[in-house]
Structure 1
Amino acid sequence: MADEPIIRGINAHKTYNSGPMTVHALRGVNLEIPRGEMVAIMGPSGCGKTTLLNCFSGLDDLTSGDVQIEGVSLSGMDDDAKSRYRSRRMGFVFQSYNLLPVLTAAENVELPLLVAKAPAKDARRKALV
């Protein structure tokens, strides 16, 4: 469906237990991101930005609620399927670059394309665009 959001969070909760304490990192997050939209996640340290990204990308599981990517629930995907999806369809830009220092900028861009089994010539061309 053309109006279907690319990402939808539905009553997303994430809690962590730290000894006797329970930390509520996400409390009932409802979020829809339309296709083609650029989104910046901002806030003070410790407010749940990294947890939100980890859960909404399938790197971590929600305690309750759901995340749907292109209408498909992440809870219905195993870890391999989530990993394949991330490598083919998802990207993050972090405040710190997280680049491999022994590679050039172009090689850092090219590397995930090669891991996704793109032909080397295509990966190089895309990295240089």
Structure 2
Amino acid sequence: MLRDLIQDGFGEKEDFNCAEKILYGANISYNLNLSPEALKLSTGFGGGMAIESVCGALTAGIMVLSHRYVEGAGHQNNKIKEINQRFFREFIAEMDSIKCTHLKLTHRKEDIGCFDIVLKAAEILDKLMVK
């Protein structure tokens, strides 16, 4: 699924940022049928919203989960709140933080950049999308 797509280098040729890799890849992996215009919404979330705040792979993951699990307004159903919390908890358990600054210091590698971070987000997202 998405993890395999990312593992195979999805988004590298296009020079996608972390958020774009997750949303564009999820669109393919989960058949979300998002339009090109909708996919562009992820662009500004890369690099922790360009200020090294919450990881762009996570914010794009929230977009994916929202698309899959929300009908109508989000506050009308606790499902998205619960699944977002699980996404963040599992990511923190594996990576120690959701903050881009911390993740870059502890998991980013010179030769592959944030590949391991995006791969972990994709792996957790795969599990949540199956349930």
TM-score by length of 1: 0.28
Give the number of the structure whose residues are more often helix, by fraction: 2
Higher alpha-carbon Rg: 1
Q: TM-score, normalised by structure 2?
A: 0.28
> RCO higher in 1 or 2 (8 Å CA, sep ≥ 6)?
2
